[in-house]
Amino acid sequence: MLENIVVHSIQVYRVSMCLVDYLKLQGIQMDGQLVQAAALLHDITKTRSFETEENHALTGGQVLTDLGYPEIGNLVRQHVRLDDYSDRKTSRKPRLSIMPINACSMTGSFHWMSA
């Protein structure tokens, strides 16, 4: 995997875990380990896609599913284009308060990542 993709994946992991923490404060529970794995692996086939021109989200999801991790594969498959989860009977969407800009401070939740 290219170094810039590794760096990107680590940053995606950091932001996603911040969002998990924030959503928990909003009363929304997430599987942090599942989010962590998907964040770190979301570009698992990105490097090869530069040559093959494959859809790296779809192939990455399939690789993980084939390895026995279908939940992670499903998240990876959707990291470029989400499945439609809208309720077509109503247009009501869940409302969340706006996350403060400092909610994901590198000196807060992620100070242990700098070691």
Kindly report, residue by residue over 15-24, the tens digit of the pLDDT.
999 999 999 9
Kindly report, residue by residue over 45-99, the tens digit of the pLDDT.
999 999 999 999 999 999 999 999 999 999 999 999 988 887 766 555 556 555 5
Domain residue ranges in the chain: 1-81
Which has the higher per-residue pLDDT, 115 or 56?
Answer: 56
Rounded to two decimals, the pTM is 0.76
Token pair listed for 74: 């499903």
Token pair listed for 100: 């403060």
CA dist 40 and 10 (Å) reads: 6
Q: Is the per-residue pLDDT at 33 higher than 60?
A: yes
pLDDT at 99: 55
CA dist 49 and 87 (Å) reads: 34
The backbone torsions φ and ψ at residue 107, rounded to the nearest 5 degrees and listed phi first, read -90, -5
Query: 69-81: b or e for each residue (b if 16 or more CB lie within 10 Å)?
Result: beebbebbbbbee
- The residue to which tokens 């439609």 are assigned: 84
